[in-house]
Amino acid sequence: MDKHKDFIEQNKIIFYIIFAILFSYVIYNLPDVLDVAGKFIGLFKPLFIAIVIAFIANIPMHHFENWLTKLQAKIGKTNFSKGTLRALAITITFLLALLIVIIFSSIVVPRIAESIYLIMNNLDSYITRLTNFINKWAIKFHTNYRISRSEVSNLFTSANISGVLSTLLGWFSDDSSNVSSVVNSVGSTFITAITAFFMSLYLLSNKERHIDQLRKLVLFVLGKDKSIRLFEISREANHYFNSFISGQVLEAAIFMLETYVVMRIFAFPFPELIASAAFIFAFIPMFGGFFTFVIGIVLTAAAKSSSTILFAIIFICLQQFEGNFVYPKIVGRSVGISGLFVLLGLTVFGGLFGFIGVLLAVPLTALIYALVARFINIRLYRRNLEVKDNKVYELDKNDHKKVLY
């Protein structure tokens, strides 16, 4: 070891010169270097996709595996190995995912396509109804504002509503031309998708072994102290992201179901379309319901203007119930932070990283909150201080408390 250190010390200047040359080469040839690096990283694309699939699928798989283990212990007659139970849990997980896809594609998608097709065919009449609806309420509120049909039509044109509807119809339509285009687009990445799928199976079936291998690599590169700190942070990050993903999906499904039931009970138009929008926008925490409300109010005013006010009242009540009770209970509790920090995280990360930041705001905020809280608590403990029940305590050697404030 001493000889190795002496060699480094003696040749320190040479190492600095080599580093400076390499750094200069990278700077002056940055586009080429980034291109080569991008191609190299692209080779690992199936692995990255497999890690995402395995991370998400691990959540239900873990629950199924525990359930099968308890069921086997309760029955007592079977003695399946841990590997067999893991394989059964993986099979159930992916079969359930396949079942959801089949139900969605065979029942929900055709109804959504039908709704979009209906909107496209009646877009002119919907523009007229929407214009009349706006002017009607402008008169009721005794305002001088009036809007013409051409202004509404221009607004729809500037927003490219027809183009958006055509694109959506192309996604949800089931005619042969669209199927062939989907097959062609999927075919271009078929090998990547299949490779990623089988990689995810290997990752799930031997996840403990792969985690141990990764830990060995980290220990080899970073050493003991830094590795232990990284492992602790990774464990907390895994906990928060697992809790958030499971809680967020559950919250989105509940909101979609609530929206669909309400739409059906009160015979509002386009229940499947608006409920699907509710599910998608529910992944934007706190504010996703507002986007669903805007879509719903426009569609209701255009198709059935007499129900618009009723829809607005009911949906606002539903949104308040969802935002104040369901979301904090399911997602806020699952990541262990209050609604204040959820809202703060949404504001900060949404402003920094846009839509992706909004999606990841809650687990990232929870992780940062936990790390900062741990750091502060350790520092206070070393200073023999404690804050609890709105009081500041000083601790002696025997952990006896003395009120300071």
pLDDT band per the 50, 70, 90 thresholds, residue 170: low
Reported as a single tens digit per residue, the pLDDT across 24-37 is 877 887 788 778 87
Using one digit for the tens of pLDDT, what is the confidence trace for 224-273?
888 888 888 888 788 777 877 777 778 888 888 888 898 889 888 888 88
Convert the pLDDT of each residue in 179-213 to its tens digit.
444 444 444 567 788 888 889 899 888 888 988 99
Q: What mean pLDDT comes out for the span 78-105? A: 86
**What pLDDT sits at residue 91?**
92
pLDDT score recorded for residue 95: 92
Report the pLDDT value the prediction gives residue 179, as an integer from 0 to 100: 44
Query: Could you tell me which residues are beta bridge partners of residue 395?
Result: 401
Q: Which of 280, 244, 235, 243 is nearest to 108 (CA)?
A: 280
Q: Extract the tokens encoding 138.
A: 């402008």
The candidate with the shortest Cα–Cα distance to 86, out of 64, 53, 56, 54, is 64
Residue 304 pLDDT: 76
pLDDT at 350 over 50: yes
Q: How far apart are CA 255 and CA 261, in angstroms?
A: 10
Describe the strand order of the beta sheet including 401-403 as a list of residue ranges. Answer: 385-388, 391-395, 401-403
Tally the C-alpha atoms within 13 A of residue 36's C-alpha that lie toward its C-beta: 5
